[in-house]
């Protein structure tokens, strides 16, 4: 039976953080190891440039860091193909053809793009680069180039997948069945789909800076937890607290397993008990934050250690990316041939 094909990845705009880990990376590694899928991991540098044209060095340097992050959490080049988007010109060809299938009004209506434009107002000023507005189309190119059937994403990216559906539908109805229709999947754990920032903002984002990175030192993690936003109405220990819109509790609900409670906070069996006490009153933020720090340190320590070991040999990482990119390009070129044939763009 033909394996399902996964296309997933990140923009190299900085280091990956615990939002990526919870929302995407942990599951990516599980799916890779299940042996049921063929996995492509894209490092989307061209897409990163759409809102970072002024800082190509950051994008360039982040490619290696994002690759190391993926390897550190368990992406295995023997099982998954990790590649650099900009090195596959066919992806740009596909983008160009797909642009004719999407109206300007539709792009401007895309909720993901609208939110990102609002978040980037300082950078963009009054007007938005065309490339940024068009990035959902380039994402459709990335997805369809590999005939991906499954695209695991965070919740913020779902509207972009919808845009891909429309492009595939339009292309196939105009030029005949050519492109494979993908489906976007979000994490089963609803809370992992959109991890809030340490500042209490709606989304932890590397371009926003409200993050705990996978490679952060033990001291940095502790400092981030200490200054993290909690419930501003929870002034005294005895006051009832709110766990909603409280990133400390949000992170605990995603990361704290019964074994963490047994090891670090045995007075509570699980998250539900801890949250109930906080809401009742009588549980202080200092104690909860200390527990969150213990949990995060436990989860991130092995990742950081693997990260440090991998980072000692950047040449080996670049070699993984080079051979992944060669393999990925072959696939994208085959799809592009198919697309051009379907459109009648064969002359010689």
| 193/234 with CB nearer ligand ATP | 193
Max distance between CA atoms of the chain, in angstroms, equals 79
**Judging by DSSP bridges, how do beta strands 183-185 and 80-84 pair with one another?**
unpaired
Q: Does 59 bind ligand ATP (CB under 6 A)?
A: no
Residue selected from 59, 71, 101, 195 as contacting ligand ATP according to rule CB under 6 A: 195
Instruction: Give the nearer residue to ligand ATP in terms of CB position, either 20 or 260.
Output: 20
Among 5, 6, 20, 224, binds ligand ATP (CB under 6 A): 20
Q: From the CB of 248, what's the least distance to ligand ATP, in Å?
A: 15
User: In the bound complex, what is the minimum distance in angstroms from residue 206's beta carbon to ligand ATP?
Assistant: 4
Q: Which is nearer to ligand ATP, 184 or 268 (CB)?
A: 184
Give whole-number Cα distances, 248 to 155, 199, 222, 297, in Å.
20, 10, 13, 14
Q: How is residue 143 written in tokens? A: 């997805």
Exposure string (b/e) for 21-60, b if CB count within 10 Å is 16 or more?
bbbbbbbbbebbeeeebbbbbbbbbbbbbbbbeeeeeebe
* Residue listed under structure tokens 């605990």: 252
**Selected range binding ligand ATP among 92-100, 198-206, 247-255, 310-318, rule: CB under 6 A:** 198-206
In this chain, which residue has its C-beta nearest to ligand ATP? 154
Which residues from 157-186 bind ligand ATP, rule CB under 6 A? 157
Should residue 154 be labelled a site residue for ligand ATP when binding is judged by CB under 6 A? yes
The residues, any chain, with a CB within 8 Å of residue 269's CB and separated by 6 or more, are 258, 261
Q: How far is the CB of 184 from ligand ATP (least distance, A)?
A: 9
Strands 80-84 and 150-152: unpaired
Strand ranges, E, within the chain? 4-10, 37-43, 80-84, 150-152, 183-185
Pick from 5, 6, 10, 40 the residue near ligand ATP by CB under 6 A: 10
- With respect to ligand ATP, which residue has the nearer C-beta, 58 or 287? 58
Contacting positions for ligand ATP (CB under 6 A): 10-11, 13, 19-20, 23-24, 153-154, 156-157, 193-195, 203-208
């Amino acid at each position: 039976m033909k394996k399902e094909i996964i296309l997933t990845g990140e923009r190299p705009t900085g280091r990956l953080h615990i939002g990526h880990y919870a929302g995407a990376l942990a599951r990516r590694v599980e799916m890779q190891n299940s042996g049921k899928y063929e996995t492509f991991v894209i490092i989307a540098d061209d897409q990163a440039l759409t809102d970072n044209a002024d800082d190509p060095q950051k994008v360039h340097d982040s490619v290696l860091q994002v690759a190391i992050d993926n390897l550190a959490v368990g992406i295995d080049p023997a099982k998954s193909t990790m590649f650099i988007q900009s090195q596959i010109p066919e992806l740009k060809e596909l983008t160009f053809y797909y642009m004719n299938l999407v109206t300007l009004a539709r792009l401007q209506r895309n909720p993901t793009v609208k939110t990102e434009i609002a978040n980037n107002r300082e950078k963009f000023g009054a007007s938005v680069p065309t490339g940024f507005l068009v990035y959902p189309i380039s994402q459709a190119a990335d997805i369809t180039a590999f005939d991906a059937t499954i695209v695991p994403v965070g919740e913020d990216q779902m509207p972009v997948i919808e845009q891909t559906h429309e492009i595939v539908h339009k292309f196939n109805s105009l030029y005949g069945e050519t492109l494979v229709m993908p489906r976007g999947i979000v994490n089963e754990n609803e809370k992992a789909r959109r991890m809030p920032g340490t500042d209490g903002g709606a989304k932890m984002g590397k371009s926003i800076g409200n993050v705990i990175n996978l490679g952060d030192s033990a001291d940095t993690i502790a400092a981030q937890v200490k200054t993290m936003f909690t419930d501003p109405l929870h002034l005294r220990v005895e006051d009832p607290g709110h766990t909603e819109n409280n990133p400390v509790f949000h992170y605990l609900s995603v990361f704290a397993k019964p074994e963490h409670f047994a090891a670090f906070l045995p007075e509570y069996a699980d998250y539900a008990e801890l949250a109930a006490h906080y809401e009742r009153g009588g549980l202080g933020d200092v104690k909860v934050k200390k527990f969150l720090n213990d949990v995060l340190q436990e989860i991130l320590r092995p990742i950081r250690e693997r990260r440090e070991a991998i980072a000692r040999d950047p040449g080996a990482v670049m070699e993984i990316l080079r051979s992944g990119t060669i393999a990925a390009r072959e696939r994208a070129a085959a799809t592009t041939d198919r697309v051009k044939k379907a459109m009648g763009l064969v002359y010689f």
